[in-house]
Amino acid sequence: MSSGRWNPSGLAAVAISLVILSSAPFARTELSPVERAAQEDEIRASALRYQMLRWSTQGDRAELEARNESERRLAKELNYRIYFISINGKDPGNDFVKRFQDLPREIRKVSQCKRKRRFLGWVVDKKTKQNGIVFSADSIRWLTPYQVEVDGGYHCGKLCGGG
């Protein structure tokens, strides 16, 4: 990405495997099931926040750096203003969604989107019909008591996704 151009596939590589280190008091072996679930929610939220901030930052930059009208149209089309969240293929709770209210995009639950039936199958908001992108955080594998791997990624159409 040294040329300054927007490369969403680079986001997928990061989103595939996110390793998070935690301190000894929060190691999974010392947590009750309720505490562990809360910690895993925090881990998923961190992974999602990273993906969403990276996508919005790169998209905003691509719009600003577009060299011609064609690049501007493409950058604007891929710089989604609505983000949908999926946790293990389902809607997160309202409190989980509220964690992202400070981001510079509208954040909604995955059930509020659908896939267009046209050729590219873009993800769209059911209400506004605006294109959007689904960010997901799914299973968490504990590699050690201090490291995890998070499955997840993004999806915005048949030819747009990673993770």
pLDDT band of residue 161 (cuts 50, 70, 90) is: low
pLDDT band of residue 156 (cuts 50, 70, 90) is: confident
pLDDT, tens digit, 9 for 90 and up, residues 14-53: 333 444 444 334 444 677 889 989 999 999 999 999 999 9
In this prediction, residue 105 carries a pLDDT of 96
- 60 burial via Cβ count (<10 Å: 0-12, 13-18, 19+): middle
How many folded domains does the chain comprise?
1
pLDDT, tens digit, 9 for 90 and up, residues 100-150: 999 999 999 999 998 876 656 678 899 999 999 999 999 999 998 889 999
Q: Is residue 3 part of a domain?
A: no
Q: Is residue 15 part of a domain?
A: yes
Q: Which helix (H) or strand (E) holds 70?
A: helix 69-78
Q: Is residue 80 part of a domain?
A: yes
- 65 burial via Cβ count (<10 Å: 0-12, 13-18, 19+): middle
Q: Are 152 and 12 in contact (CB under 8 A)?
A: no
Q: Which domain holds residue 96?
A: 8-162
Q: Are 63 and 72 in contact (CB under 8 A)?
A: yes
Q: Are 48 and 152 in contact (CB under 8 A)?
A: yes
Strand, helix or coil for residue 162: strand
Indicate whether 151 pLDDT > 90: yes
Indicate whether 8 pLDDT > 80: no
- 123 burial via Cβ count (<10 Å: 0-12, 13-18, 19+): buried
Two structure tokens written together for 132:
């959007």
Angle at 134 between CA 61 and CA 17, to 5 degrees: 80
Q: Is residue 46 part of a domain?
A: yes
Q: Are 123 and 84 in contact (CB under 8 A)?
A: yes
Return the residue matching tokens 């060299």.
67
Q: Which helix (H) or strand (E) holds 87?
A: strand 82-87
pLDDT, tens digit, 9 for 90 and up, residues 69-96: 999 999 998 899 999 999 999 999 999 9
In this prediction, residue 15 carries a pLDDT of 37
pTM, to two decimals:
0.79
In this prediction, residue 115 carries a pLDDT of 80
In this prediction, residue 118 carries a pLDDT of 65
Q: Is residue 13 part of a domain?
A: yes
Q: Is residue 95 part of a domain?
A: yes
